Amino acid sequence: MLSNTYPVISVKDLKRTYSAKIGVMNQKKKSVEALKGISFDIYPGEIFGLLGPNGAGKTTTIKILTTLLAPTSGEAKVFGYEAFGEEKFIRHRINFIFGGERSLYWRLSGEDNLKFFADIYKIPRSKQNELLDCLFDEVGLTDVRKHKVETYSKGMKQRLQIARALLNEPEVIFLDEPSLGLDPVAARALKKMVRQIADQGKTVLLTTHYMQEAEELCDRIAIINDGEVVALDTIAGLKTIAQNESNNDANLSLEDIYVHFIEGRAICKV
Amino acid sequence: MDSFKRLIRKATLSYKGLFAVMSVQQYLMVNLGSPLMQMLCFTLIARYVYGTVDISHWFIGNALVLTYFNAIFGVGVQLTQEKNSGTLKLLVASPSSGVGIFLPRAMLHIFDGLLTVLFGLVIGSLIFDFYLPISSWPAFLLILLVASFSAMAFGLIISCLGLLTRDLNLVLNIASMAMLGLTGANFPLDRMPVWLQPIGQLMPLTRSIEASRSLYSGALLSDLSGILLGEFILGIVLMAIGVVMFSIMTRVAVKLGVLEMF
Ligand SMILES: Nc1ncnc2c1ncn2[C@@H]1O[C@H](COP(=O)(O)OP(=O)(O)O)[C@@H](O)[C@H]1O
Ligand SMILES: [Mg+2]
């Protein structure tokens, strides 16, 4: 369907092994194969979901694509450039948020945080004021922009992160469990913002454990388990496969589909 | 103009975000209290050891060496602090280079370090009868500025080590001891083991301490320009090493997957 456009993100047979030392006296090297050769393409304007249990390799994938981790082998390209080696052609065009409350300077105000990163991203001073007003408005933090981040709630911190990630007008934005620990209202606000980001034509790669969030947002989903992609399609496509494989005509929810691909198949194989 | 404004704001915000304390009392306690106590301690030891001899010599050394406090605990820990606040990855994955990211951070510490030394001098003049004629103060300030600059440049190198090790404390202790022990602040360099002497010459502050002592003994700034230039160049070299180390070590950290490990 999208064969006439080039993918913004292209991952081919990507592998990553971590080596960790265990023990104190007799240190042994233990290696963990976090990614065992995954492949997928993401096209411009898509919201692409990466679902999978804890430890499946989602964060590892995002770290590689955001130039923060080198692949062990295989290919990870963003805009056609290698994520490790050609990062200077990528970095100014992407941005990302990792879940959790860190990644901000808690002692600074929300405004100072954005100013700092605006300078780090070399955004011209003449544009900054208007941009910051706009972003604070977009994430609904205008009235607390002068307050210290340590006084923000989790949801507010997450919204500030979004504003931070939009500073450089990225073409691709990576969201690793952005709704982690948010209350339902904050999670809904976040969902709305992700939708808005996509409506502006940006490409989004999202990981989440909330099936409803994935269902409402994602155009296509890759389910990843133990370092391997076990399924990749639109939600409707995944549903068809799951229904066929499990001989189940019932109207499967995304959660049913997810459980099928993570557990059901394994049980079938035994 | 934009890049200058950026430099200033990055300097103040990173100082505020990571190092600066919240109140004046806290500043006095943390940034002045402990370094000044240390200066008094070492100077009093010197007085004990050297008896009635004028100890201004040792006092000056110990005052200048106070810049180590900002160099190690301000600049030296900065990248580890970024790791702790989860912001290191944001900086590394930004389009800014090492120069743009971590040089501005050393800037305010240069002045903070200088301020600490000035406080030390005031206290010293009250306790130890330290006296420097007014006419020598501009020259003395210049020496202090250069000293603080090269101390912070040294701190940049230390901070890079934080990218790859989780035992930064060990590094910080060794670096502090080196600054206290190998710069001539507390022990005469020429009486150290021969193999240690070249290291003393490569340390920041060694030349500034020598210059300020000479100034105190009546030398003119013009006599000291060579040695002062030496300290300045050493600072530039240390800084360049720091910048290169930053880019090499972030790359190694990205390869090993330890950019965010503690
Ligand atoms: N820095 C690391 N060192 C060693 N092992 C790691 C490291 N980071 C992740 N892993 C391991 O790699 C696997 C995948 O982790 P991750 O990508 O974080 O999974 P996910 O984000 O899907 O929960 C896990 O088994 C995890 O324990
Ligand atoms: Mg994860």
**Which atom of ligand 1 is the closest one to the Cα of A58?**
22
Candidates B18, B85, B90; nearest CB to A117 = B90
Residue in B with minimal Cα distance to A89: B95
Candidates B10, B22, B89; nearest CB to A116 = B10
What is the model's pLDDT at position A270? Answer: 40
**Contact A159/A149 with Cβ under 8 angstroms?**
no
- Six-digit token string for A93: 């065009």
- A84 alpha carbon – ligand 1 mean position (Å): 19
- The reply to whether A270 falls in a domain is no
- The reply to whether A269 falls in a domain is no
> Any residues with CB less than 8 A from the CB of A25 and at least 6 apart, and which?
none
What is the model's pLDDT at position A269? Answer: 44
Nearest bound ligand to CA A63? 1
Mean pLDDT calculated for residue range B181-192: 87
- Six-digit token string for B17: 């975000």
Look at ligand 1, atom 12, and give the residue with the nearest C-alpha. A34
pLDDT at A30 over 90: no
Q: How do residues A53-62 score in pLDDT, each as one tens digit? A: 999 999 999 9
* Amino acid identity, position A69: L
pLDDT at A187 over 80: yes
Chain A contact set for B16 (CB, 8 A): 107-108, 112
ipTM of predicted assembly, 2 dp: 0.91
Candidates B87, B96, B254; nearest CB to A69 = B254
Look at ligand 1, atom 4, and give the residue with the nearest C-alpha. A18
B9 touches A: beta carbon within 8 Å? yes
What is the model's pLDDT at position B10? Answer: 87
Indicate the top mutation candidate among A38, A50, A60 to test ligand 1's pocket, ranked by most ligand atoms within 8 A of CB: A60
Domain membership of residue B229 as a residue range: 2-256
The DSSP line for B209-257 is HHHHHHHHTT--HHHHHHHHHHHHHHHHHHHHHHHHHHHHHHHHHHHHT
Burial A189-216 (b: 16+ CB within 10 A, else e): bbbebbeebbeeebbbbbbbbbbebbee
Residue in this structure with the two tokens 């943390």, named with its chain if needed: B30
Who has greater pLDDT, B154 or A245?
A: B154
**Contact A141/A69 with Cβ under 8 angstroms?**
no
- A89 alpha carbon – ligand 2 mean position (Å): 26
Mean pLDDT calculated for residue range B189-195: 87
What is the model's pLDDT at position A181? Answer: 84
Q: Is the CB of A99 under 6 A from ligand 1?
A: no
pLDDT at A182 over 90: no
**CB atoms < 10 A from the CB of A155, how many?**
18
- Six-digit token string for B196: 């240690």
Look at ligand 1, atom 24, and give the residue with the nearest C-alpha. A55
pLDDT at A266 over 60: no
**Under an 8 A CB cutoff, do B95 and A84 touch?**
no
Chain B contact set for A89 (CB, 8 A): none
- The reply to whether A155 falls in a domain is yes
Distance, CA of B166 to CA of B176 (rounded, Å):
18
Tally of structural domains, chain B: 1
Domain membership of residue A42 as a residue range: 2-263
> Any residues with CB less than 8 A from the CB of B161 and at least 6 apart, and which?
B168, B171, B249
Chain B contact set for A20 (CB, 8 A): none
Chain B contact set for A117 (CB, 8 A): 90, 94
- The reply to whether A203 falls in a domain is yes
Indicate the top mutation candidate among A15, A32, A176, A224 to test ligand 1's pocket, ranked by most ligand atoms within 8 A of CB: A32
A105: nearest Cα among A39, A150, A75? A150
- The reply to whether B262 falls in a domain is no
First to last CA, chain A: 36
Confidence label for B238 from pLDDT (cuts 50, 70 and 90): very high
**What's A256's domain CATH number?**
3.40.50.300
- Six-digit token string for B229: 């230039």
- The reply to whether B157 falls in a domain is yes
Exposed/middle/buried for residue A17 (C-beta within 10 Å: 0-12, 13-18, 19+): middle
What is the model's pLDDT at position A250? Answer: 78
B21 touches A: beta carbon within 8 Å? no
- The reply to whether A73 falls in a domain is yes
Tell me which range, A129-133, B47-51, B255-259, is most confidently predicted by mean pLDDT.
A129-133
Tally of structural domains, chain A: 1
Task: Please tell me what DSSP assigns to residue B130.
Answer: -
**Contact B147/B205 with Cβ under 8 angstroms?**
yes
- The reply to whether B132 falls in a domain is yes
- The reply to whether B244 falls in a domain is yes
Phi, psi of A90 (to 5 degrees): -105, -45
Chain B contact set for A88 (CB, 8 A): 95
**Three-class SS string for B195-206?**
CCHHHHHHCCCH
**Three-class SS string for B13-74?**
HHHHHHCCCCCHHHHHHHHHHHHHHHHHHHHHHHHHHHCCCCCHHHHHHHHHCCHHHHHHHH
B16 touches A: beta carbon within 8 Å? yes
Confidence label for A4 from pLDDT (cuts 50, 70 and 90): low
**Contact A187/A179 with Cβ under 8 angstroms?**
yes
**Contact A47/A196 with Cβ under 8 angstroms?**
no
Phi, psi of A188 (to 5 degrees): -70, -40
Q: How do residues B35-84 score in pLDDT, each as one tens digit? A: 788 888 888 888 888 776 778 888 888 889 989 888 998 899 999 989 98
Mean pLDDT calculated for residue range A66-79: 97
**Under an 8 A CB cutoff, do B93 and A121 touch?**
no
What is the model's pLDDT at position A245? Answer: 87
Candidates A100, A105, A119; nearest CB to B6 = A119
The DSSP line for A82-107 is ETTT-GGGTGGGEEEEESSS-SS-TT
Percent of all residues in chain B with a pLDDT value above 90, rounded to a whole number: 38
Q: Which of A147-161, B15-29, B151-165, B173-187 has the lowest mean pLDDT?
A: B15-29
Task: Please tell me what DSSP assigns to residue A35.
Answer: E
What is the model's pLDDT at position B230? Answer: 96
- Six-digit token string for B210: 């020598």
What is the model's pLDDT at position B24? Answer: 72
* Amino acid identity, position B108: L
What is the model's pLDDT at position B21? Answer: 62
Phi, psi of A15 (to 5 degrees): -125, 145
- A60 alpha carbon – ligand 1 mean position (Å): 6
Strands A81-82 and A73-78: antiparallel
pLDDT at B199 over 80: yes
Confidence label for B189 from pLDDT (cuts 50, 70 and 90): confident
**Contact B39/B83 with Cβ under 8 angstroms?**
no
Phi, psi of A22 (to 5 degrees): -120, 155
**Beta bridge partner(s), residue A76:** A11
Residue in A with minimal Cα distance to B81: A105
Max Cα distance, chain A (Å): 64
- pTM given for the model: 0.90
Look at ligand 1, atom 3, and give the residue with the nearest C-alpha. A18
Mean pLDDT calculated for residue range A43-55: 96
Burial B149-162 (b: 16+ CB within 10 A, else e): bbbbbbbbbbbbbb
> Any residues with CB less than 8 A from the CB of A226 and at least 6 apart, and which?
A36, A55, A56, A57
- A261 alpha carbon – ligand 2 mean position (Å): 19
Q: What mean pLDDT value characterizes chain A?
A: 91
Q: What mean pLDDT value characterizes chain B?
A: 87
What is the model's pLDDT at position B101? Answer: 84
- Six-digit token string for A117: 């990163």
- The reply to whether A117 falls in a domain is yes
Chain A contact set for B96 (CB, 8 A): 120-122
What is the model's pLDDT at position B51? Answer: 76
Percent of all residues in chain A with a pLDDT value above 90, rounded to a whole number: 77
- The reply to whether B122 falls in a domain is yes
What is the model's pLDDT at position A24? Answer: 66
Angstrom distances, CA of residue A93 to CA of A67, A135, A171: 12, 18, 6
